[in-house]
Structure 1
């Protein structure tokens, strides 16, 4: 079941909220949340519950044993079992098909064959394994104590708003909220929750899906039947379009998740905070997929040594963390290269603090630093989204972009009317523009304006949030009634008139 489906918005979520409101003061309140969460997850395939239960029940049991252990060494061995079991489960489902396919391709020239093992990837396995694993680690670190009620623990692992695509919640932040009897949310909280859900749907269906449509069109231009190279500049449309798509798609999911949880009087952590205004990679990862970046920091980067030690040691830790972060996202060499790219950016900005140097020039310097780093992020998105066969055409198109400038200048000089020109001159100018649309650069013109149409509002919303160091939906409580009503109408009618009719899944369902 998807957040952007009518079944979720008008049937599932209202019934869950109503059921919880009736049962919240009874012993069955949490059982109800656990059952509806399991239904939400298994509505596509029932067998998805098997690896989920294997992870949850194993870590529930290990958490008890670690807490009760008298011998610290034995407790450590139990935590190692939890980590190995979770990572093994993740590896089997996520990487077996990729590894056997890659190995088969390498051995084929030698005349050797191995069977390719095809395994269906259960949704959210990367999220709930990390979440469950942190539970046992935190207990071992004595930062949290286990909950003995298995229903409470199952409800924590499976809590439907964040189950499929995060945020990755720590047990110490979520489990106590679910285990206690919660009052009904206030009218103000309900209003904020509904605004978040509406804004998230607007982000997903209008911005993410339409930007994704541009990306898919570029992909089709590189398809098997393509007879000509990708036109100059279209590679930029691919990179910019996917940057908008993945941000709006994932941020929309997180916003809808937070809003849905608020209706049950549960607070989920913020997962994004205007990341594309970042001026350096460290700031970017404090603002992008915050739950994953903090997880990697606390459970991987810091145990590796973090910032302690010599510079080369710190750089090694940064690169290992980002390589594993890239591998977490998906099975494939390009995901690893994406992680390596961000690792290199973290190292580069430590050696050459470009943003700090530019910041000395005031607002203009900071804006330029953000502009530069955004384009470095977009380079990474090419690796994240493209296939190995598409990398070459995309880069060729990007590098050829300057070749269109002479043509555009020529058309401007040829058709631009002089000051005070009459109707005929302006008609000739419009005719020249229309002829330009059917030239070899028409894709760039049409796609470029389409991208601006969907990207500009995203930047405006983020800029408004950035001014107060919040996400735009969080500004709701600062708005007056008229502003709230106008925005709600804008989002609602925006969905009705501008939402892409071919609504797609949330991108991070694949992870």
Structure 2
């Protein structure tokens, strides 16, 4: 079941909220919460429950044994079992098909033919394995005590608002909320929750899905024959996917946080205007915050963090980002994407470009240039993330061919430029002629480019407003006067009605 479907918005969520409110003071409140979460997850396929319950139940019992033991060696063995069970389960479902295909290709070079293994990937497996694994690690570190009520624990693992695509919550932050008898949310909190859900639906149906449609049209132009793209369409692909993935994932988080708020449960913020970052460290404090913190606390710091010198710090950064890329998907380009961001982290440690720009151009201009520079470095990374190896070449060639195409059109009118003064009306006429010539021969780029601008501008504007206030845009809701709340809600509703795509497209991170 997806958040942007009528089944969820009009049937499932209202019934779930009403049912919980009726049972919230009884012993069956979390039994009901667990049942509706399992139903939500199993709506597509019942077998999805098996791997989730397998890892959850194993970690539940291992957590109790780790807590009850005072033998360091035994506790460590139990933790290793938990890690192997979680990583093993994730590897079987996520990487078996890819590795078998790569092995078949390699052996094919030597004339050996083998079949490939196809394994269906359960949604959310990357998220709930990390969440469940952090439970046993925190107990091992004596940072959290295991919860003895298995219903409450399973409710924590399967809590439907954040189950499929996060944020990745720690047991110490979420489990106590679910185990407690919570009061009804206030009218103010309910209003805020509905605004989060509405803003998330706007980001998904109006911005992300329309941008995704344009990106899809560009990739279709490449086709199975790996045709070259016209100049500039690579930029359409790059900018389009850059904002598509942000709007898509931020939309999921907004709807998840709003849905959880209706049950008086607070989920952590997962984004904070990431495209206004000035450097890689700043970006990873603002993008997919729950995953960044998980990798920091359970991988980067245990590896040694930045405490053992420059070279070991670089090694730790590359290992962390390599595994972060691999977590996102089974494929070489996901690994390259992770390594690319690892190199950016190292580059900015050695050469702090943002600091240099501020020092040379001043605080305002320098910071603006640092944001623009790093934004485009992130954009290139998204090409690696989204494109297949066969698509990467045509996309990149289309980007670097655009300046040449513009210069070619100007050169075609060079004789006319030589005959007119730069301050004359004739000069303007020649410039208009150059522009018409470029538009007539690159109309696809112009049309698709305007589409990218149209559906990105609302996000850019709201992000700038939020960035200036240090929050996400929907978190400004309580600070708005009533007339502004009403106006924004009306605009969002009409935008969804007239510009929202009707099909219930899955969220991108459902694939991870």
Shorter chain as denominator, the TM-score bin is over 0.9
Please give the alpha-carbon distance, in whole angstroms, between the structure 1 residues aligned to 2:431 and 2:238. 31
- Shift of residue 133, structure 1, vs aligned partner: 0.1
Determine if contact 2:323/2:338 at 8 Å carries over to the other structure: yes
1:445 is aligned to 2:456 = no
Determine if contact 2:236/2:449 at 8 Å carries over to the other structure: yes
Change (3 A) 1:16 1:408: farther
Residue of structure 2 in register with 1:476 after alignment: 477
1:323 is aligned to 2:322 = yes
Please give the alpha-carbon distance, in whole angstroms, between the structure 2 residues aligned to 1:80 and 1:429. 69
2:381 is paired with a residue of what secondary structure? Answer: helix
Change (3 A) 1:225 1:110: closer
- Shift of residue 233, structure 1, vs aligned partner: 1.3
Determine if contact 1:209/1:503 at 8 Å carries over to the other structure: no
1:238 is aligned to 2:237 = yes
**Deviation per CA, 1:146-178, whole angstroms, max 9, x where unpaired?**
010000000000000000000000000000000
- Shift of residue 501, structure 1, vs aligned partner: 3.5
Determine if contact 2:409/2:434 at 8 Å carries over to the other structure: no
Determine if contact 1:206/1:499 at 8 Å carries over to the other structure: yes
Task: Please report the TM-score for the alignment, with normalisation by the length of structure 1.
Answer: 0.95
Greater CA drift, 395-404 or 55-64 = 395-404
- Shift of residue 444, structure 1, vs aligned partner: 1.6
Please give the alpha-carbon distance, in whole angstroms, between the structure 2 residues aligned to 1:437 and 1:341. 35
Residue of structure 1 in register with 2:86 after alignment: 86
1:373 is paired with a residue of what secondary structure? Answer: helix
- Shift of residue 433, structure 1, vs aligned partner: 6.2
1:490 is paired with a residue of what secondary structure? Answer: helix
Please give the alpha-carbon distance, in whole angstroms, between the structure 2 residues aligned to 1:295 and 1:75. 22
- Shift of residue 99, structure 1, vs aligned partner: 0.2
2:302 is paired with a residue of what secondary structure? Answer: helix
Residue of structure 2 in register with 1:346 after alignment: 345
Determine if contact 2:5/2:504 at 8 Å carries over to the other structure: no
Change (3 A) 1:199 1:410: farther
1:42 is aligned to 2:42 = yes
Change (3 A) 1:274 1:246: same
Gap runs ≥5 in structure 1: none
- Shift of residue 70, structure 1, vs aligned partner: 2.0
Residue of structure 2 in register with 1:205 after alignment: 205
Residue of structure 2 in register with 1:464 after alignment: 465
**Deviation per CA, 1:384-418, whole angstroms, max 9, x where unpaired?**
000010111111111111112235657999899x9
1:249-264 maps to which residues of 2 (within 5 A)? Answer: 249-264=248-263
**Deviation per CA, 1:459-488, whole angstroms, max 9, x where unpaired?**
110011101110000000000111000000
1:231-310 maps to which residues of 2 (within 5 A)? Answer: 231-310=230-309
Residue of structure 2 in register with 1:492 after alignment: 493
Determine if contact 2:409/2:437 at 8 Å carries over to the other structure: no
1:400 is paired with a residue of what secondary structure? Answer: helix
Determine if contact 1:326/1:337 at 8 Å carries over to the other structure: yes
Residue of structure 2 in register with 1:136 after alignment: 136
Determine if contact 2:271/2:288 at 8 Å carries over to the other structure: yes
Please give the alpha-carbon distance, in whole angstroms, between the structure 1 residues aligned to 2:15 and 2:492. 24
Please give the alpha-carbon distance, in whole angstroms, between the structure 2 residues aligned to 1:43 and 1:379. 37
Residue of structure 1 in register with 2:169 after alignment: 169
Please give the alpha-carbon distance, in whole angstroms, between the structure 1 residues aligned to 2:437 and 2:501. 29
Please give the alpha-carbon distance, in whole angstroms, between the structure 2 residues aligned to 1:318 and 1:224. 37
2:109 is paired with a residue of what secondary structure? Answer: helix
Gap runs ≥5 in structure 2: none
2:116 is paired with a residue of what secondary structure? Answer: coil
Please give the alpha-carbon distance, in whole angstroms, between the structure 2 residues aligned to 1:218 and 1:3. 27
1:31-110 maps to which residues of 2 (within 5 A)? Answer: 31-110=31-110
Determine if contact 2:33/2:159 at 8 Å carries over to the other structure: yes
Please give the alpha-carbon distance, in whole angstroms, between the structure 2 residues aligned to 1:307 and 1:67. 30
Residue of structure 2 in register with 1:23 after alignment: 23
Greater CA drift, 134-143 or 501-510 = 501-510
**Deviation per CA, 1:324-368, whole angstroms, max 9, x where unpaired?**
000000001100000000000000000000011112211111010
- Shift of residue 224, structure 1, vs aligned partner: 2.2
1:467 is paired with a residue of what secondary structure? Answer: helix
Please give the alpha-carbon distance, in whole angstroms, between the structure 2 residues aligned to 1:486 and 1:322. 42
- Shift of residue 500, structure 1, vs aligned partner: 2.5
Residue of structure 2 in register with 1:122 after alignment: 122
How many aligned residue pairs are there? 506
Please give the alpha-carbon distance, in whole angstroms, between the structure 2 residues aligned to 1:434 and 1:500. 32
**Deviation per CA, 1:78-130, whole angstroms, max 9, x where unpaired?**
01100011000000000000000000000012121233110000000000000
Please give the alpha-carbon distance, in whole angstroms, between the structure 2 residues aligned to 1:376 and 1:435. 31
- Shift of residue 232, structure 1, vs aligned partner: 1.1
Determine if contact 1:169/1:268 at 8 Å carries over to the other structure: yes
2:113 is paired with a residue of what secondary structure? Answer: coil
Please give the alpha-carbon distance, in whole angstroms, between the structure 2 residues aligned to 1:312 and 1:432. 53
Change (3 A) 1:253 1:412: farther
Q: CA RMSD in A?
A: 2.2
Change (3 A) 1:434 1:90: same
- Shift of residue 214, structure 1, vs aligned partner: 1.3
**Deviation per CA, 1:272-310, whole angstroms, max 9, x where unpaired?**
000000000000000000000000000000000001111
- Shift of residue 211, structure 1, vs aligned partner: 0.9
